[in-house]
């Protein structure tokens, strides 16, 4: 097993947008449409108020199918992360940091994304982050994060 405690990773990058494609369905399209407008949102039950990410057809709390898509402040806290050193598409050296962000204003909903704008070595659980936007294939926009 390799001891990685003394490795310096350098700058964290967003994955190249030309390598990312998404598919939508009726439960996720509102999220992606708002992202195109550079607005962060999350699926919220229109009946009980429970946030659910990823969006799903039915609320896990009350089983309602009614949804709302409130605008969120675009900030959060790193809940979990990993440091990756290879581009998953082509295997080339490339440092990126997948993160699970606990979104502010959602009572604990989480979003899986990427973190950039800092050295990968400086990322830590509890770090405050803010949304940024990464254009991807087919004119969609991916929410990514940077230190707040």
Extents of the domains making up the chain: 17-147
Q: Residues 113-119: what's their mean pLDDT? A: 96
- Residue 5's pLDDT band, with cuts at 50, 70 and 90, is low
Order of strands, sheet of 67-68, starting from the edge strand that comes earlier in the sequence: 51-52, 43-45, 67-68
Position 6 pLDDT exceeds 80 = no
pLDDT value of position 116: 95
Q: pLDDT (tens digit, 9 = 90+) per residue, 19-44?
A: 999 999 999 999 999 999 999 999 99
Q: Taking Cα atoms as reference points, which of 69, 67, 35 lies closest to residue 142? A: 35
Instruction: Give residue 1's pLDDT.
Output: 44
Provide the 3-class DSSP secondary structure of residue 7. coil
């Amino acid at each position: 097993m390799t001891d990685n405690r003394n490795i310096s990773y350098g700058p964290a990058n967003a994955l190249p947008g030309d390598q990312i494609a998404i598919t939508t369905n009726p439960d996720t399209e509102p999220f992606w449409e708002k992202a195109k407008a550079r607005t962060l949102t999350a699926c919220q039950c229109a009946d009980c108020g429970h946030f659910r990410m990823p969006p799903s057809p039915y609320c896990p709390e009350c089983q309602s199918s009614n949804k709302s898509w409130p605008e969120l402040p675009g900030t959060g806290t790193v809940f979990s992360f990993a440091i990756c050193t290879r581009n998953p598409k082509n295997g080339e050296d490339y440092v990126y940091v997948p993160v699970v962000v606990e979104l502010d204003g959602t009572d604990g909903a989480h979003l899986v994304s990427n973190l950039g704008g800092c050295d990968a070595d400086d990322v830590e659980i509890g770090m405050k982050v803010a949304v940024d936007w990464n254009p991807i294939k087919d004119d969609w926009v991916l929410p990514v994060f940077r230190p707040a």
